[in-house]
Amino acid sequence: MLHELAGQVRSGQIDPLDLVEESLRRIAADNHNAVIRVEADAAREAAATHPRIGPLAGLPLLVKDLARCEGSVTTMGSPFLRDAAVDLVDDLVVARLRAAGAIVVGRTNSPAYGHAAFTANTLFGATTNPWNPQRSPGGSSGGSAAALAAGLAPLASTSDGGGSVRIPASACGLVGWKPTLGSVGRNVLPTWIEFSTQGATAATVADVVLQASIITGLGSGDWLSVPAGTCDLTPARPARVLACRTFRADVDPAIEAAFEATLATLAADGLAVERVEAPSDNATFMAWLTIATAELAQRLGPERHRWDELEASLVSLLRLGDSVTAADYIAAQRLRHEVGARIDDLIGNDSVLVLPTVNVQSWPAAGPTTDHAGAVTGDPTLATNTADLNATGHPAVSVPMGFDQAGVPVGLQVVAPRFRDGLALGVAQVLERTQPWPLVAPGFTPFGV
- 140 carries an active-site annotation: yes
Residue 375, Cβ density class (10 Å: 0-12 exposed, 13-18 middle, ≥19 buried): exposed
The residue annotated as part of the active site, out of 23, 64, 110, 178, is 64
Going by their DSSP bridges, the two strands 197-198 and 159-160 should be labelled as antiparallel
Cis peptide before 400 (omega within 30 of 0): no
Residue 249: its H or E element: none
**Spatial distance between the Cα atoms of 51 and 179, rounded to a whole number of angstroms:** 30
The residue annotated as part of the active site, out of 144, 164, 196, 280, is 164
Taking the CA atoms of residue 221, residue 223, residue 225 and residue 227 in that order, the dihedral angle to the nearest 10 degrees is: 80
- 170 carries an active-site annotation: no
> Residue 341 carries which side chain, given as an amino acid letter?
A
For the chain, the maximum distance between any two Cα atoms, rounded to a whole number of angstroms, is 61
Number of Cβ within 10 Å of residue 97's Cβ equals: 27
The residue annotated as part of the active site, out of 23, 78, 110, 140, is 140
Beta bridge partners of 27: none
- 196 carries an active-site annotation: no
**Spatial distance between the Cα atoms of 231 and 97, rounded to a whole number of angstroms:** 18
Q: Which whole-number Å values give the CA distances from 342 to 45, 280, 427, in the listed order?
A: 52, 8, 22
Residue numbers annotated as active site? 64, 140, 164
